């Protein structure tokens, strides 16, 4: 689940619906849409979005004009999502205060990654603690705390656990975890991943042979359950 609030502004209703669906499937629970700049301005102070994703080519007030209006009162992060791909358009967007610029057509994953990166920059989180059933993980220190014992994570274990915690409660595929651990060229790393998973269970589980936090989803990947998932 992602608690960041997203406001999407586009006059193409089908595209608006599709973008909303992309973020909701990714776990964002607060997604608001506006089909015009005028409606977006009305929603801005009501919704207080964490980020705004907006088109440029809209009637009445275009995206550049909307961004200028927003910047008078707000520094909320803005990603311009538009068919206008010329360099001058990009320059104008950034000069007006946009945080990123993505040209249509776009890949849903790229949109998600760009928004995630903006949110991480705009809202840095301190004391990132992941609470599990029998341990807690301090992501800033790369340490596990279990039974009053501090257990350090290796770099690979940290990368894998970070990816799992970012998708807590959802299946993370074996390929995705291999890529998190060793980069884009991960083929052949699957057996090593299993070794890392076993070591992680030894650190976070009370009984590594019967895990309750780091679960195997046969044939698909793994899933991390937080302490709250057991309540």
Give per-10-residue mean pLDDT for the chain (231 aa). Answer: 85 95 89 95 91 94 95 94 90 94 93 92 80 92 91 93 91 92 82 95 96 94 87 62
Return the pLDDT at 196.
95
The pLDDT value recorded for residue 45 is 85
pLDDT at residue 164, as a whole number: 94
CA-CA distances (angstroms) from residue 8 to 19, 74, 91, 109? 8, 16, 21, 16
In this predicted structure, what is the pLDDT of residue 74?
92
Q: Running DSSP on this structure, what letter comes out for residue 226?
A: P
Buried b or exposed e, range 55-91, using 16+ CB within 10 angstroms: bbebeeebbbebbebbeeeeebbbbbbbebeeeebbe
The whole-number pLDDT of residue 94 equals 94
List Cα–Cα distances, 50 to 6, 20, 61, 157, 218, in angstroms: 6, 15, 22, 31, 36
Q: What is the pLDDT of residue 188?
A: 84
pTM exceeds 0.75 for this model: no
């Amino acid at each position: 689940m992602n608690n960041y609030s997203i406001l999407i502004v586009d006059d193409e209703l089908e595209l608006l619906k599709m973008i909303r669906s992309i973020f909701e499937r990714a776990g964002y629970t607060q997604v608001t849409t506006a089909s015009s700049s005028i409606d977006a301005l009305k929603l801005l102070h009501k919704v207080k979005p964490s980020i705004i994703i907006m088109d440029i080519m809209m009637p009445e007030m275009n995206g550049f004009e909307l961004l200028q209006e927003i910047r008078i009162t707000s520094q909320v992060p803005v990603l311009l999502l538009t068919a206008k791909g010329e360099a001058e358009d990009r320059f104008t967007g950034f000069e007006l205060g946009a945080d990123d610029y993505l040209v249509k057509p776009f890949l849903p994953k790229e949109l998600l990654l760009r928004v995630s990166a903006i949110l991480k920059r705009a809202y840095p989180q301190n004391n990132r603690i992941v609470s599990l059933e029998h341990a807690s993980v301090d992501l800033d220190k790369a340490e596990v705390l279990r039974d009053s014992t501090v257990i350090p994570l290796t770099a690979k274990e940290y990368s894998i656990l970070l990816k799992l915690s970012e998708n807590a409660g959802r299946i993370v595929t074996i390929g995705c975890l291999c890529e998190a651990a060793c980069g884009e060229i991960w083929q052949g790393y699957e057996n090593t991943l299993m070794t890392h998973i076993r070591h992680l269970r030894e650190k976070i589980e009370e009984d590594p042979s019967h895990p309750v936090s780091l679960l195997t989803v046969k044939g698909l990947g793994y899933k991390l359950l937080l302490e709250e998932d057991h309540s």
